[in-house]
Amino acid sequence: MTRQPHLYMSEFTEKGLKVTNLTVDAISANLNELGIKSLGTVLANQQASELYELSLARSESRLTNMGALCVETGSHTGRSAQDKFVVEDDVTADTVWWDNNKSMSPEHFATLKADMMAHAEGRELFVQDLHGGADPVSKIKVRVVMMKAWQLFSSGTCLFAQRQPNLRVLARNSQL
């Protein structure tokens, strides 16, 4: 018997915020397609204020004296130029600037992805549909899958967007 995931989704309408289950099947299918076979609770497309409050309520973060959200990420913090990897294959071999990126074999990527998907199974996940770029012609749709409510705020280069992503980003908490 397959356990149905609990999926909560909020979406803006002309009349304000509403909770809907219209895309539960689509998001569940997409996560299954990624390799997460046993879904736990999924909170999809929560507003920034909801994620802010959830992060505080779950003790993932704290407030500074100015009201900003503060997260302790441990010794591995920030973006490291040495941690940028691109799968080198027939498509990327001649199209990626390799002076500033490290290559990864498709096999190594498959191993890392399988490990992450196994880690995500049965856990509470946060899914956000965003887009990169403001130009309607060139923007790309992005689905970000996170394990912590605050991780959306690290996706500040993306804008809240539409459904059906072109690109999916998976964020795993390194503090296990």
DSSP H or E segment with residue 129 = strand 125-132
Separation in Å, CA 42 to CA 87, 101, 124, 148? 28, 33, 6, 11
Q: What pLDDT shows up at residue 62?
A: 92
Q: What pLDDT shows up at residue 8?
A: 52
What is the token pair recorded at 139?
């923007």
Q: What pLDDT shows up at residue 151?
A: 81
Report d(CA 71, CA 12) in Å as an integer: 27
Q: What pLDDT shows up at residue 22?
A: 46
CB 150 within 8 A of CB 56: no
| Domains in the chain: ranges and CATH | 7-73+117-171 (3.40.449.10)
Instruction: List, for the chain, all residue ranges whose pLDDT scores fall below the cut of 70.
Output: 1-24, 76-82, 153-176
